[in-house]
Amino acid sequence: MSDKAILEYEGSRYEFPVIKGTEDELAIDIKTLRATTGMVTIDPGYKNTGSCESAITFLDGEKGILRYRGYSIEELAEKADFLEVAYLLIFGELPNKEQLAKFHHDIKEESHVDEEMKKILDGFPKAAHPMGVLSSLTSALIAFNPSSVDVSSESAMYSSIVRILAKFPVLVAWTMRKKKGLPLDYGDDTLGYVENIHKMMFKRPNQEYKKDPIAIEALDKLLILHADHEQNCSTSTVRIVGSSHAGLFASLSAGISALWGPLHGGANQAVLEMLEAIEADGGDTKKYMAKAKDKDDPFRLMGFGHRVYKNFDPRAKIIKKSADDVLGNLGIEDPILEIAKGLEKEALEDQYFVDRKLYPNVDFYSGIIYRALGIPTEMFTVMFALGRLPGWIAQWREMRLRKEPIGRPRQIYIGENLRDFVPLEKR
Ligand code: ACO
């Protein structure tokens, strides 16, 4: 096989190296394209563009494979816990007992959030969307931790990482507690990382916190399944903002905003709202299938389709089973789960969806579990952000350690050519 790609244009011939990843993916390396040909490439939505080389997550959308640092998502979801997965993603290897204990200890040391931050949260109306609040609070955190921007040494970088892993769950919990009208509280350092998150979110002011192993296990699994997904919209945002050396927290704040959109992480909220609307409309799934296929109707079947997965989304498979287990264990019968299953069945047999390779994605069933756990619908994307945090950190760290250049795409200008200025009175 040739390791060069040839480009011929107007009688000239240019050669570009072809590079191969560890899973045999091929890419044409066009770093010298503009310098040698004067041309750029154009690829809206970056459907064919690799923005970086990365050793963190591998996914094969045709085969439905997802691996973090070489470990299959199925095995991690079954055998690891979220903190181990966070360590794996960020540092590249599964931690041994001592490494994990130190990591957790270092996180716990940073688990306070400046009390002044409560005033910022207080300034938001109760109806504010939690994703906007979370993005703002993450950015505001920089003011209270200005040294987090300097990551010039390995220890400074480590310190920024453990700080945000410690404080972010507090912000998540506060965001939800404000929505629910509950007092803002701190966690308990004697608890596990996810257990503590659960406590911070759900502890009632007038009751002892009771451990809820079913809820904690479900939460842990969901967080693992969301932890990384290579160069998606929010991760690319984190990397590109970080490439200007804006700092980890600012990059994450931008990533949260990117995740908010309904075409990305915001789909989990949109799915549940869609399922509720179908239920309220009498549960007629066929009507909504028809709407999804009608090109004159903007309605899309939320939680279906994926830019990369064209066979199945392995995360959706695990989450579907988990939804059955969690609801069963909690003794909840949710008619919305039945509507979701009905929609999935119909879509999988429908030529429109088959032809376009549209399958349920990670967001299709996750909301049903969040709802069963007592998490408000508007918080679903915040939970996604909580899960994605280690992935964003790992990707940002990799980008900084590889000393990647500032992200700055080119364009093809299609506007007016040079023209004379017309004074206001003559326009
Ligand atoms: N319902 C109905 N039709 C759909 C859907 C859907 N959910 N998704 C894609 N299609 C159709 C499109 O209309 C298009 O049809 P056409 O070829 O006849 O024009 C075709 O399938 C291809 O769709 P694109 O939008 O071009 O695919 P793209 O890769 O750009 O988009 C995306 C992927 C954004 C996920 C899309 O499938 C979608 O909007 N899904 C619903 C929202 C959603 O669930 N997002 C979460 C994604 S997972 C995540 O980010 C965590």
Q: Is the CB of 358 under 6 A from ligand 1?
A: yes
Percent of the residues in the chain that have a pLDDT greater than 90, as a whole number: 88
C-alpha span between 83 and 223 (Å, rounded) = 10
Residues 6+ apart with CB under 8 A from 387: 82, 222, 223, 224, 225, 226, 227
Q: Model confidence over 107-144: pLDDT tens digits?
A: 999 999 999 999 999 999 999 999 999 999 999 999 99
Q: How many angstroms is it from 305 CA to the middle of ligand 1?
A: 5
Residue 310, ligand 1, Cβ within 6 A: no
Beta bridge partners of 60: 65
81, 228, 313, 363: which one is catalytic? 363
Confidence of residue 1 (pLDDT cuts 50, 70, 90): low
Rounded distance from Cα 301 to ligand 1 centre (Å): 8
Q: Considering 104, 129, 306, 313, which one is annotated as catalytic?
A: 306
307: Cβ below 6 Å to ligand 1?
yes
Residue type at 399 in one-letter notation = M
Kindly report the protein residue whose alpha carbon is nearest to atom 36 of ligand 1. Answer: 305
The per-residue pLDDT for range 315-339, each reduced to its tens digit, is: 999 998 998 889 999 898 889 988 9
User: In the prediction, which pLDDT does 26 show?
Assistant: 96
Q: Which helix (H) or strand (E) holds 268?
A: helix 267-280
Distance, C-alpha 371 to centroid of its chain: 19
Q: Which three-class secondary structure state does DSSP give residue 294?
A: coil
Res 399: pLDDT: 97
Question: Residue 28 and residue 21: Cα distance in Å, rounded?
Answer: 12
d(CA 359, CA 188): 40
Q: Is 306 a catalytic residue?
A: yes
Task: Measure 328 CA to ligand 1 centroid, in angstroms.
Answer: 31
DSSP 41-82: ---GGGTT------SSEEEETTTTEEEETTEEHHHHHHH--H
Instruction: List, for residues 367-422, the tens digit of each pLDDT value.
Output: 999 999 999 999 999 999 999 999 999 999 999 999 999 999 999 999 999 999 99
Looking at residue 310, what is its pLDDT? 87
Per residue in 21-69, pLDDT (tens digit) is 999 999 999 999 999 999 999 999 999 999 999 999 999 998 999 999 9
Query: pTM here?
Result: 0.93
